[in-house]
Amino acid sequence: MGHMQHFSYGLLTPVLSYLMACTGAAVGLRCTVRALRETGRSRRNWLMLGATAIGSGIWTMHFIAMLGFGVSGSVIRYDVPLTLISLGVAIVVVGAGVFTVGYGEATTRSLLLGGVGTGLGVATMHYTGMAAVRVNGTVGYSTLLVAASVMIAIVAATAALWIVTRVQDLFGALIAALVMGLAVSSMHYTAMAALRVDVHAEHTALSGATALQFILPLTIGMAAFLCITSVMIAVSPMDEDPVPPVVPALNSPAETTGTWTWRTPLERQDSGRRRR
């Protein structure tokens, strides 16, 4: 088995990757909050931007962390088309979770489905990205650690969405982003701990690009996209007072808005008489 190194540059790659995961999550979750206050095409556009930001942040985090990855006795190359596919997978699958929260009713079921979708997006991106890695050896995984990494992604993504839908201000988005960033980083290194590489005695020429040839330039491009998106959110005014969606109450003439039940004065008077 080849000796694997995950921190070739010390703490530089894990710290930078965590910061990028937090940045992507902060931008994406803030877009999600903005979408919840919009309707029609505007809501769809904000959700699409949010999914792209979260997916890009996850992808950028993964490959910054991979810059510190090495295997003794083998060079590492990356399959370019499959690496790009992993970025698309992250955006699409995370988008499914974000749209579930954005268009679903404010229920536990919608939140759980959104969290599962977003968490699976994190895990799917990681393992698709790992499938793009080329080494002179046979790659295998520990089933238990793989399952643990997926559960970490799902639980933490659900927690982040719960926070951002309950505390719809900048502070809530920052806390949710820290949780999401921790989830993505924890999931990544748990998944990497599951990795096993048996290096071949005979080395063959590997196809693909090196990290410096392809991964680093694309990572810089993703970081620039997140910065531009952050500026877009900053200059786009948003009412800080949340406007919860109106949901008809069951078996009641009242209208329920969020967690508050509104009644007309006559209905409140009748309700008081019944209680007496």
User: What backbone torsions phi and psi does residue 104 show, to the nearest 5 degrees?
Assistant: -85, 160
Q: Any residues with CB less than 8 A from the CB of 141 and at least 6 apart, and which?
A: 194, 195, 196
Nearest to 29 by CA among 187, 229, 216: 229
Domain ranges, ordered by start, for the chain: 4-243, 246-276
- Give the Å distances, CA to CA, from 112 to 46, 86, 105, 130: 21, 24, 12, 27
Nearest to 160 by CA among 119, 99, 110, 103: 119
Residue keyed to tokens 């948003």: 238
> Residue 173: is its pLDDT beyond 80?
no
Over residues 81-113, the pLDDT tens digits come to 998 898 898 888 888 888 888 887 667 788 888
- Give the Å distances, CA to CA, from 30 to 36, 102, 198: 10, 12, 43
> Residue 142: is its pLDDT beyond 90?
yes
Over residues 212-258, the pLDDT tens digits come to 777 778 778 877 888 787 777 766 765 544 444 444 444 444 444 44
Instruction: Calculate the CA 147 to chain-centre distance.
Output: 18
Over residues 26-58, the pLDDT tens digits come to 888 888 888 888 888 889 998 998 888 888 888
Single pTM value for the model: 0.76
Nearest to 195 by CA among 136, 143, 153: 143
Query: Crossing angle, helix 40-66 and helix 12-36, to 10 degrees?
Result: 170
- Give the Å distances, CA to CA, from 255 to 36, 166, 248, 272: 19, 20, 5, 18
> Residue 68: is its pLDDT beyond 70?
yes
Average pLDDT across the chain, whole number: 79
